[in-house]
Structure 1
Amino acid sequence: MSPELIGVLGIVALLVLLSIGTPIGVGLGLVGLAGLALLITPEAAVVKIGVVSFETISRYELGVLPLFLLMAHLCFAAGASRDFFAAAARFLGHRRGGLALASIGGCAGFGAISGSSLATVATISSVALPEMRRAGYAPGFATGALAAGGTLGSLVPPSGALIVFGIIAEQSIGKLFAASILPGATQALFYMATIWFLCWRNPALGPRTERAPWRERLPALRRIADVLLLILFVIGGLMIGWFTPTEAASVGVVGALILWAFRGGFTRAAFAGALASTLRTAGMIYVVIIGAILFATFVSVSGIADQLSRLVLEVHASPTLAIVVMALVLLLLGSVLDGLALMLLTTPIFLPIAESLGLSPIWFGIFLVRTMEIGFVHPPLGLNVYVIHAMAKDIPLGTIFKGIIPFLIADFIHLALLIAVPALALWLPGVLGA
């Protein structure tokens, strides 16, 4: 068999493994090992596993991942996880759809702590959904807004998805964080505009609630001020060059510990729990990264990416057309694969094509994560939808997916804007020199 055919069979085998529930890291590693054994030799493939594993674990920049995870868990323990929605609700709840608008603001704020879509939607929904149901919000509208808003957790820095992409693609994490600011902000604005439009058309979807007095607004704002200052200092310092990514994450951990001490509630048991949660999550992601690098090595040796790049250049496809085709493939795969699997499967194949067309790998990382986010709410998988359904089993899945449709339309428009105007992602890193 030719190397290219082995590469195609490897990709098909990976899709089969993932579809039957094989863990992402295990599937990537098995396919990478088997493919390399066929392309080179079994002995060389085994040696490659040892080299890749050692080099991955010993990379200094990989320390940024567990440190940002620890910062998030410390902020959770400090009680900061639910304050963002509470503050936004005090300021916006009295407007039509105000609690839905507040849920988008809460997701954006909490996403800056968690860096995870699923953690964001689970935490904010646990607070916001009961409030919206008590206020008489339409179930589909409320759950649709929460499922869509949860996707902000994957794009707002410090995004775990962007950190993993930066490590796999060997790109600056600081530049990726800077590049995600405007797309994340415009994404939130698109969701808010969708909520406003739906409530303008049908006010019964999101009734007004009682206006909160300023004596309640200001304390709610003060409760998130310390966390916001910590996030701005850490992410801002990283983007303007005060810290390296690992230093920024270390500063974030120390700041979160100080914040926890001032807020009260610090105990040995809670601190041990935060460390244990961090180690479990980091260990899982390390396995995924090692597997992804093995799979990327296999794809590179097979020559698939080079063949596809030459094919794109030979047919004189424009960069825009190539990206649109990639987006369609990603959206199709996103209906059957979870976001991390999708990103790790496609990055070794699509990134070389994008670079051969002269596209920025930083922009491509934002595009990839943005497209991946849509998979979190895109049927039939839509992991965010199932998270909400697990918390509100009386709301049918069909109702939640129906409520997602207006936000999916906003997602597609926003994705088209990102493709048409790459400066949306590249302007800020250029200004900051990140």
Structure 2
Amino acid sequence: MFATPATGVIGVVILFALLLSGLPIGVALGLVGLGGLCLVLGLEPALIKGGVVLVDTLTRYELGTLPLFMFMAHLFFSSNASRDLFDAAAKLVGHRRGGLAYASVGGCAGFGAINGSSLATAATIGLVALPEMRKRGYSDALATGTVAAGGTLGQMIPPSGALIVFGIIAEQSIGKLFTAAIVPGLTQALLYCAVIWIAVRLRPHIAPASDRASWAERWQAIGRIADMILLIALVIGGIALGWFSPSEAASIGAAGALAIAAWRKRLNRAMLMQAFEETLRTSGLILMVIIGALVFSVFVSVTGLTDAIGAWVTGLGLGTIPTLILVAVILLLLGSVLDGLALMLLTTPILLPVVEGVGMSAIWFGIFLCRAMEIGFVHPPLGMNLFVIQGVAKDVSINRIFKGVLPFLASDLLHLLILILFPALALGLPELLGN
């Protein structure tokens, strides 16, 4: 009687209200999903189905990927990875006009590969890069906008926590998602560099040239990050080339990060315990979110909401590209009021069938969704990266930070359109490597 699309819509509205009220994502998803299943199926079947989802999730082999990559990130963070990555990029290109802004993008891309979090990347690189840029006469708008936008690379550059979560809830290969993210991540960084290049050509005074570092200083800076770069290349390259699975790659990454921390004489009991504690805390929170999302997905599926939305979109007869643009608009509108993870978990069970219905793969949608999530980090009213950067540069107004990020936001929208028009940007490399 209650297994109708209308019930699904009511569930989505209740979930949306709970998220806006500040209830934790995992709790909101679980409550709405389980409550909806009780209404549709009855109490006992709902509890049984919820128990099956819980056990299936906790026993999934690929779930071990997440805490291992997080452990790797915490170890690298304790080894001064962010400062070393930015310093190396600054030594290489800092003498050029806008060079420190380029270095910030490079540092964000490098640290994003280690960390996998947009907020952490923006905060960490911001602490290192913003004082340097402002000290050397860079405009506040360019300096803060660069780091706020560059921080979003943490979600795309593999290994990405967001892509791991998507792979689990959409039952897709995490290795294939990582491989598919490489080219979009690099092109996103290149577009940011293009924005900087145009900005400093139009207004040279906003980014003065700095002193050129000697080649001895450059090689010394590169030497400080060589061990991390080699480990990241081994982990990501090994997954892309099929040498080992994502879980095996995560194990290699964690073991390598331990070895690097020991080599740099930063490995001690206190640091190790803190890394374990942070890893367990974050992994537990994400695990709760994943279980809640899967229960909610079952509820949405049982109500027939996904089929109804798919039939409605098909009935519009828009064609592939207009349908994908419509999906992008929906994601951007929701992303203005929901944080990234909430956006992913709310929309995946509803929009994935629509995207697959117009001939696009779930792997492509994972990359597309991740890009839409990233845009939400830099546009109001949520724009979490903007507030993170303001926390680092407290004397810069949020309006000025937003002014600085606007050109990068335009490049993000262009990149999203390119992904729609040229799906091979995400799918070409996995197909080339036979993933």
- The answer, yes or no, to whether TM exceeds 0.5 is yes
Alpha-carbon distance in structure 2 between the residues aligned to 1:228 and 1:18: 38
Alpha-carbon distance in structure 2 between the residues aligned to 1:401 and 1:18: 25
Match of 2:376 in 1: 375
Match of 2:292 in 1: 291
Question: Secondary structure, in 3 states, of the residue corresponding to 1:231?
Answer: helix
Match of 1:54 in 2: 55
Q: CA deviation at 1:43?
A: 2.0
Matched, 1:205 2:206: yes
Alpha-carbon distance in structure 1 between the residues aligned to 2:3 and 2:120: 43
Alpha-carbon distance in structure 1 between the residues aligned to 2:18 and 2:79: 39
Q: How does 1:38-53 map to 2 (within 5 A)?
A: 38-53=39-54
Q: Deviations over 1:16-42 (max 9, x none)?
A: 111111111011111101111111102
Match of 2:65 in 1: 64
Alpha-carbon distance in structure 1 between the residues aligned to 2:221 and 2:283: 33
Q: CA deviation at 1:2?
A: 5.7
Q: CA deviation at 1:211?
A: 1.1
Alpha-carbon distance in structure 2 between the residues aligned to 1:359 and 1:185: 22
Match of 1:422 in 2: 423
Question: Secondary structure, in 3 states, of the residue corresponding to 1:82?
Answer: helix
Match of 2:264 in 1: 263
**What percent of counterpart residues are identical?**
59
Q: CA deviation at 1:242?
A: 1.1
Match of 2:183 in 1: 182
Q: How does 1:32-431 map to 2 (within 5 A)?
A: 32-431=33-432
Q: CA deviation at 1:269?
A: 1.1
Deviating 4+ runs (over 6 angstroms)? none
Alpha-carbon distance in structure 1 between the residues aligned to 2:133 and 2:29: 41
Letter in 1 for 2:427: L
Letter in 1 for 2:359: G
Letter in 2 for 1:192: C
Residues 158 and 182 of structure 2 are in contact (CA less than 8 Å); yes or no, is this contact kept in structure 1? yes
**More displaced 10-residue stretch of structure 1: 48-57 or 137-146:** 48-57
Q: CA deviation at 1:288?
A: 0.4
TM-score (norm 2): 0.98
Q: CA deviation at 1:404?
A: 1.0
Q: Deviations over 1:267-325 (max 9, x none)?
A: 01111110111000000000000000011111111111111111222232211111100
Residues 95 and 213 of structure 2 are in contact (CA less than 8 Å); yes or no, is this contact kept in structure 1? yes
Q: CA deviation at 1:417?
A: 0.7
Letter in 2 for 1:433: G
Alpha-carbon distance in structure 1 between the residues aligned to 2:186 and 2:342: 25
Q: CA deviation at 1:78?
A: 2.2
Question: Secondary structure, in 3 states, of the residue corresponding to 2:81?
Answer: coil
CA RMSD of aligned residues (A): 0.9
Alpha-carbon distance in structure 2 between the residues aligned to 1:356 and 1:329: 17
TM-score (norm 1): 0.99
Q: CA deviation at 1:207?
A: 1.0
**More displaced 10-residue stretch of structure 1: 219-228 or 73-82:** 73-82
**More displaced 10-residue stretch of structure 1: 2-11 or 424-433:** 2-11
